[in-house]
Structures are given as structure tokens and as C-alpha cells.
């Protein structure tokens, strides 16, 4: 049975982080009484903790003895109670991830703490890691360096791809011109790894590599043949294990 077939959320506990007047659901799974540390695992646009690509990452961490904390971030189509998907923004996604990151630090102040994210979850964790020198490592999957990268990829797909994102997430589309993780990546002190699919049309291979190249402590870059924006399956699980080893996890 591959990692993606083992839905990690079935054994996870549900917590609620309080962020001002807002609440943020967080699913937490702990592999043993003495986990190596805690990773905050951040989903992307219209993502959720039980999606195949997030499950693959979670299972890899659990197999390596890490506690996994995965928030259900606002404004996702995959999470009906998370608010209107059309209100999603890069900045809002990052702020919500930061609230979850602060909650993890309060819950387990003595743990090693790491960051992992998929798609714009990887965009968000670049900013969190830049502001958190204590971060043990960063693992990014299908990571966009900026909003401009995502817009250019959709423009290459043709007008329907642009019209779709304008319709589904107009505020997200409007922020594409200014959303940029490049400067944040240059400030990350932790070792960093990137995994992506060679057939990813939303974050083409060259753009995933640009994210990797921007980090001073970039350690591992893996491209999965035939995989698209949401890599999963046995080969992905094996590559995640290699990436975690390279990161000292």
C-alpha cells in the first residue's frame, strides 16, 4: 500500500487555534511518544489536509518519526466551512499559515519545528521560514516563486485558464502581480528541499528550480517524471524519503 492510500487524517486529532476573533482547525498526528519534532504542513489553493499530495507528505514525515500539524486554511473549495473561495489571497493564505505556525510553537515550544507546503502553501512557508531562524528545515512541493509565475503559466495555457482563476478567485488573481517569495527565500537559514513534477503546468520545472535556487541552503531538488502539480504515489513517497534524509529529518 502506498503512502497516498493511507489517509493519515483518519488517525489525527482535531484542534482549534485561536487567532484574534478567528478560529483555525488544525489536524495533528503523532507517530510515537517521542516524536523527533513537529512539521507544519500547509496546503495550497483549494487544498485540504486529506488530499493525496498532502497525505503523501504527511505519511513521509510520520514514517520518519515527526509529528504532523496540518491546518485547514480559509477560503478553500475543498473545505466547505472555510469561507468563500473567491476571497482567497496570497497574503491571507500566508497570514493564516503564520497563525498556525505560532500555535505550533506555543503547543510544543521545545520541539524541533519544520515547515512543509504544497503550491501556494510552499509560497507561504517561504515567508514563515524567513522570519523564523529556528526553523529546522523547509520542504516545498510544486512551489511557485511568485504570483507572476502562476499567471505566466496560466497565460501559456490559454485564455480559459486565465478566465477561470479570475472567476474563481478574483482577489488572488489581482495579487498575482505583487505576490513574491524571492526576497524571503534569500533570508532562509534552514536547509531547503524541493520536489516537483516534470509535467506540472501550473509551476513549470524551471520555476520550481528558481524557487530552489533562491535559497542559500538549498540541499535537494527532485523532479518526478510524468507527475503534475499534485505529485503522489510510490515514486513520490520514495523521493520524499530521500529529501527528508538530505534535510537531516
Report the C-alpha gap between 138 and 122 in whole angstroms.
9
Domain membership of residue 155 as a residue range: 3-246
d(CA 157, CA 122): 22
Phi, psi (rounded to 5 degrees) for 70: -125, 110
Looking only at Cα atoms, what is the longest distance across the chain? 52
pLDDT at site 5: 53
CA distance 179 to 123: 9
Q: Show Cβ contacts of residue 208 under 8 Å, excluding neighbours closer than 6 positions.
A: 142, 143, 194, 196, 200, 221, 223
Residue 22 pLDDT = 75
Tally of domains within the chain: 1
Whichever domain contains 223, its CATH number is: 3.40.50.1820
Cβ of 48: how many Cβ atoms within 10 Å? 19
Backbone angles phi, psi at 154, to 5 degrees: -70, -35
Per-residue pLDDT of the chain (249 residues; tens, 9 = 90+): 344 556 898 889 999 987 667 789 999 999 988 999 999 999 999 999 999 999 999 999 999 999 999 999 999 999 999 999 999 999 999 999 999 999 999 999 999 999 999 999 999 999 999 999 999 999 999 999 999 999 999 999 999 999 999 999 999 999 999 999 999 999 999 999 999 999 999 999 999 999 999 999 999 999 999 999 999 999 999 999 999 999 999
User: What is the model's pTM?
Assistant: 0.95
In the prediction, which pLDDT does 1 show? 37
How far, in Å, CA of 186 to CA of 154, rounded?
26
> How many whole angstroms separate alpha carbon 99 and alpha carbon 69?
12
Distance, in Å, from the CA atom of 225 to the CA atom of 212, rounded to the nearest integer, reads 18
Amino acid at each position: 500500500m502506498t503512502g497516498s492510500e493511507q489517509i493519515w487524517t483518519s488517525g489525527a486529532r482535531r484542534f482549534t487555534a485561536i487567532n484574534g476573533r478567528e478560529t483555525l482547525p488544525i489536524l495533528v498526528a503523532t507517530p510515537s511518544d517521542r516524536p523527533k519534532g513537529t512539521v507544519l504542513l500547509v496546503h495550497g489553493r483549494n487544498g485540504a489536509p486529506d488530499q493525496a499530495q498532502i497525505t503523501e507528505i504527511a505519511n513521509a514525515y510520520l514514517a520518519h518519526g515527526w509529528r504532523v500539524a496540518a491546518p485547514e486554511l480559509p477560503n478553500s473549495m475543498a473545505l466547505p466551512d472555510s469561507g468563500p473561495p473567491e476571497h482567497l489571497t496570497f497574503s491571507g493564505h500566508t497570514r493564516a499559515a503564520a497563525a498556525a505556525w505560532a500555535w505550533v510553537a506555543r503547543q510544543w515550544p521545545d520541539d524541533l519545528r519544520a515547515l512543509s507546503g504544497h503550491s501556494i502553501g510552499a509560497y507561504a512557508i517561504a515567508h514563515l521560514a524567513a522570519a523564523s531562524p529556528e526553523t529546522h528545515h523547509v520542504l516545498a512541493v510544486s512551489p511557485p516563486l511568485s504570483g507572476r509565475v502562476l499567471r505566466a503559466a496560466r497565460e501559456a495555457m490559454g485564455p480559459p485558464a486565465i478566465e477561470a482563476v479570475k472567476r474563481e478567485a478574483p482577489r488572488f488573481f489581482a495579487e498575482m502581480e505583487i505576490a513574491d517569495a524571492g526576497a524571503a527565500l534569500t533570508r532562509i537559514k534552514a536547509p531547503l528541499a524541493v520536489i516537483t513534477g516534470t509535467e506540472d503546468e501550473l509551476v513549470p520545472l524551471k520555476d520550481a528550480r528558481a524557487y530552489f535556487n533562491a535559497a542559500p541552503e538549498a540541499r535537494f531538488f527532485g523532479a518526478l517524471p510524468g507527475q503534475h502539480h499534485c505529485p503522489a504515489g510510490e515514486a513520490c513517497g520514495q523521493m520524499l524519503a530521500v529529501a527528508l534524509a538530505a534535510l537531516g529529518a
